[in-house]
Structure 1
């Protein structure tokens, strides 16, 4: 891990999305082809990119039943409990519509309504991410979205990973399609003969998925342009080095560009974490990925005080932040934190608790976008309409002011629309 003592954070620039024009062109061609040819284009790309020949993309009941038979013992119960925790957390986020009668008889308010249809992209192929199903779909269901569509790349056997099918089935989803990549995003945005068009697309994916989401934004809404995962641990010398090293590696194993950073005023702690990192790395199944991540984006930032560390955290605006300090310092440091997607407080609040089980969402802003973005939530799947029922008395009282404002902006027809009502 690289040591940084001068608070120089230029390494962040290396993680920005640098996209080749060839990839952008390829994604645009895929989207245009799917928009024009529908299912035929999906079949073409599924053969080309997934090496699978499919006639029907929709998952069948038999495939779901088979997934349950193949599942390891106990995993279905774990998925059920995780789903219950996630649902309970997100149910508390539901906003309410409201109306308020003014003294002049006018009524002002806000109406909250869910989106009609949402698509959840779930990474697949060689891996299975049932947690992505739960995190992407449950907030939409809690918001009242009527149609939630799951898309995920098919495996070599022509179906989706067992865990993905189980998770979708456990929360009552039936619109599940064996399509991945940029072509899946295009199908969700424009619809095909068999796949429904949606209003918003959420969920993580590779660079082609991110580029496709960027291209269709405006036709549909998207959650974000997610980058590689990241974790920052802010710790003092009361923290356990082995636990910090393990937590840093929990994100490093995601991707060679994942970022794992320790911010600490204790040089001794930093050295101990670095030593533990070497030991733990050698035992990881995804060792090569984690090693590359730690080599390029593993940092130990040495600061003078914890408060200086909190300022570094605010500059990083990390996806995941763990605070491992003496309990008496927790509240003080927490108050100093302004920018972080998800905050884990205390030594037992390891990041994977949030990834899978506690309840808060794990689809979180990356690459510093926590400075202005928020985790996926029920709010992501609702829209607000403002409501005005102006009374006769209110219009008479305010007509001259409104018309005057309109004429000041050079909009005469606006003013006359007000005055037309006064003539009667």
Structure 2
């Protein structure tokens, strides 16, 4: 029988417990070192460097970096009807969710006498949506990034994605672009894609922001270039915690645990439970489920669940289980319990929380509505899922009447004087009054 890593929290030292919380992307220094020459080449050589990277890393010789509008508009002819309908459903679900999420464009209120204050939301000018293609095709990432960007009203939305063996973007990604009104797809992946949209090349436009999941090389380049482009919310290798109790079949916990562990050997996936019987039964069910996956993905899952980034975590109590869940701050958290809503108050940190036995992870990943681009690497403790707010910026709006000025200016002047800012102090002094009085007299 294949070995499933077993971690008993009651016997672990604090150092051992801390080791379980570490992610593959915790130390990006090696990836940054490898990304640096790629970034430099793209900055200096532009398109030529991108074409060279495609040949070196993607094993394809590109004739063009931009996918033709014809290849985008005709993509539906390459797909079967079942997938086309699934894409249409997903796009509609994601669009509806994010339209409901949109904030009021402008709000103002007189929260203090004589002053109107509030917020105004406006879209960012441009964004690059990254669609990965390392260990398969991931067109759903185009939906989960580009649809919210479109709903938010982003001025220019482009897709960047590694080229496939045929020298273009996969058909589903091209069809999604045509469906949501995007005509710019550029063939570049990894660190070179980040550099391309950070600096701009002869073909690839410079963008204000990049969003979407990807490899540690992508994450490293985003960190390196954060002074040139907004790197977006962190989205590294997949990670999942399944919490389960004895109110659901243990085999269901095993089934869901495999979902994120099949992404790749750098993924993380833990079953957390306070019930030893659930822990044993779920572990026993996993090998049989591997046999139903195909060796390629099962190999990734075996690596994850048999190592220090996955397996079964047995907690001494439900409270201790959720202490670990909160410390881990997973990208995905599935709560397999018929009492899932009762457990919700115990959860503070998770990118997405899926409650109950029917809230299957693939439904959330592909067609439910919220974006599947979620914070990874423990950042769910402070960061949020990708949403329309990632494509909007907020400006504070204020209007102060004369009455409000007369009430507030003395306090502002006192702060300015104390902090030593003479121009600040003068701007709310009799100098302002004299200027406005002279202007009023001149206009009579």
Tell me if 1:241 matches 2:244: no
Q: Secondary structure at the match of 1:74?
A: helix
Change (3 A) 1:392 1:155: same
Q: Secondary structure at the match of 1:136?
A: helix
Aligned residues: 422
Q: Secondary structure at the match of 2:345?
A: helix
Alpha carbons 2:28, 2:220 under 8 Å: kept: no
How does 1:338-353 map onto structure 2 within 5 Å?
Answer: 338-353=348-363
Task: Report the Cα distance in structure 1 between the residues aligned to 2:221 and 2:52, rounded to whole angstroms.
Answer: 17
Task: Report the Cα distance in structure 2 between the residues aligned to 1:356 and 1:104, rounded to whole angstroms.
Answer: 49
Partner of 1:202: 211
Change (3 A) 1:127 1:66: farther
Tell me if 1:40 matches 2:23: no
Task: Report the Cα distance in structure 1 between the residues aligned to 2:396 and 2:18, rounded to whole angstroms.
Answer: 44
Tell me if 1:271 matches 2:275: no
Task: Report the Cα distance in structure 2 between the residues aligned to 1:230 and 1:126, rounded to whole angstroms.
Answer: 16
Match of 2:68 among 35, 56, 60: 60
Partner of 2:442: none
Partner of 1:261: 270
Tell me if 1:4 matches 2:7: yes
Deviation by residue 1:88-113 (Cα, 9 ceiling, x = unmatched):
11111101121124664332221110
Structure 2: give runs of 5+ residues left out of the alignment.
438-444
Q: TM-score, normalised by structure 1?
A: 0.94
Match of 1:323 among 306, 315, 335: 335
Task: Report the Cα distance in structure 1 between the residues aligned to 2:364 and 2:298, rounded to whole angstroms.
Answer: 23
Partner of 1:418: 428
Q: TM-score, normalised by structure 2?
A: 0.90
How does 1:174-193 map onto structure 2 within 5 Å?
Answer: 174-193=183-202
Task: Report the Cα distance in structure 2 between the residues aligned to 1:18 and 1:311, rounded to whole angstroms.
Answer: 21
Q: Secondary structure at the match of 1:17?
A: helix
Tell me if 1:128 matches 2:137: yes
Alpha carbons 2:98, 2:370 under 8 Å: kept: yes
Could you tell which deviates more after superposition, 392-401 or 181-190?
392-401
Alpha carbons 2:304, 2:311 under 8 Å: kept: no
Q: Secondary structure at the match of 1:322?
A: strand
Q: Secondary structure at the match of 1:168?
A: helix
Could you tell which deviates more after superposition, 154-163 or 67-76?
67-76
Task: Report the Cα distance in structure 2 between the residues aligned to 1:245 and 1:331, rounded to whole angstroms.
Answer: 21
Task: Report the Cα distance in structure 1 between the residues aligned to 2:285 and 2:55, rounded to whole angstroms.
Answer: 44
Partner of 1:293: 304
Alpha carbons 1:318, 1:370 under 8 Å: kept: yes
